[in-house]
Amino acid sequence: MGVGTLAVVFVAVLASFFMAWALGASSNSPPFAPAVGANAIPTMRAAFLIGVFAAAGAVTQGGSISETVGTGLIDGVSFTPLAATAGLFTSALFIALGVRTGYPIPAAFAVTGAMVGAGLALGGDPAVDTYRRIVTFWLSVPFVSGSVAYATAWLLRHDDVPETMSIPLLGGFVGYVLANVDLTIIPGPTPTVAGFVSHRVGATPTLVGSYDVATVVTSLLAGVAVFLILRRTMVQSVDAGVRQFLVGLGAVVAFSSGGSQVGLATGPLEPLLADFAVGGVALLVLGGVGILLGAWMGSPRLLQAVSREYSQLGVRRSIAALVPGFLVAQAAIALGIPISFNNIIISSVVGSGLVVGSGGVSRRKIAFTLGAWVTSLVSAILMGYGMYTLLTTVTGIE
């Protein structure tokens, strides 16, 4: 590998780290914004927790999406250092444009499009099956997250279900799901808390698929534990219970956000650093550190701005918007599909607003945003193709 190529690899690593920093500073603020808006936690403490939980999620859950972005978007070739640099640089331009115009461009759209464009310019073939899975998931997100948000908002507003029960029930459900999310730090054939317990206990009767009695019992115990903790707090003080749930839910969603976002930054490096025996956890740690620093350095200001928007939504509608954020992000991680929290949160906010008869968001802005997303995806493909071609011509490196 020549000096010029090594220099390009170094630039690609810096671009990846900067992308992770930008994601930490911008994409991970929504989870704790409702808690800040409700005065449940100070801004600086929220920024600290965002960094910690998002970085933890990046390291323990980011591998599947990183692999998809790095090796699953193009068939027939592996991304070269120059192609990875072209893709990351193009993505950064689109994200910066979104911030500048006030219509945030989903990082997943920008990165996926840019890497596809660079890969096609490199001479690769379209990974049609992967594209079909990704597009199907993206199109289903508004309907799924909006429906879950609607159901959650309905539960929280329903007169027959007191808040001393509805909030603990939601917390218990989140606890149940958490016991079944994949974590790379857990050994065994099924890297989940419930799967680890099942493996340690030994063979128990199978109920559905790979779920045996031990797995289900462990999941239920996790859910019941969260339910009882929240229930006790809610009985003593409803406001204190809601604040506790907001902070806990924010931590869980920030964790999921880190796991779903880090692969957008580290994925392009996967095929590059394999030659240096670097990859996997080491890359996720690099991305996790970038997200951590980005959250600590850049999220306080955004937290203040976003928390004002969530304050206008109200605490309960904010909860209804965050619950599907957690569920959809975990589904994307399990399937290895790059996803953007902008897509999830906007759909959830609209869905939760339908309970009171209005989405609370300008229809014109929603239409403009959707148009911007589609345009950004297509434009990112074209610009990624052009960027790689231009850099190849200028540098003489392929």
- Segments making up each domain of the chain, as ranges: 3-150+249-395
pLDDT value of position 128: 93
> CA 49 from chain center: how many Å?
16
* pTM (predicted TM-score): 0.87
Q: Provide the phi-psi class of 23: left if phi over 0, else alpha when psi is between -120 and 50, else beta.
A: alpha
Buried-state track 13-32, b at ≥16 Cβ within 10 A, e below 16: bebbbbbbbbbbbbbbbbbb
pLDDT value of position 309: 62
Closest residue by Cα to residue 56 from 81, 28, 94, 90: 28
CA distance 39 to 58: 27
pLDDT value of position 270: 81
pLDDT value of position 127: 93
Tell me the one-letter amino acid at 132. R
Pairing assessment for the beta strands 74-75 and 125-126 based on DSSP bridges: antiparallel
pLDDT value of position 359: 46
CA distance 233 to 238: 7
Per-residue pLDDT tens, the chain, 398 aa: give them. Answer: 566 677 878 888 888 888 888 888 777 777 887 788 777 888 888 889 999 999 999 999 988 898 899 889 999 888 888 888 889 888 878 777 766 665 667 788 889 999 999 999 999 999 999 999 999 998 898 888 888 888 888 888 777 788 889 999 999 999 999 999 989 888 777 889 998 898 888 778 877 767 788 899 999 999 999 999 999 999 999 888 888 898 899 899 999 989 988 889 888 888 777 665 555 788 889 899 999 998 888 778 777 766 666 666 677 778 888 888 899 999 999 999 998 776 787 777 777 776 666 545 556 766 776 777 788 889 999 999 999 999 888 877 76
pLDDT value of position 372: 73
CA distance 361 to 347: 10
CB-based contact 230:245 (threshold 8 Å): yes
Closest residue by Cα to residue 109 from 372, 391, 335: 372
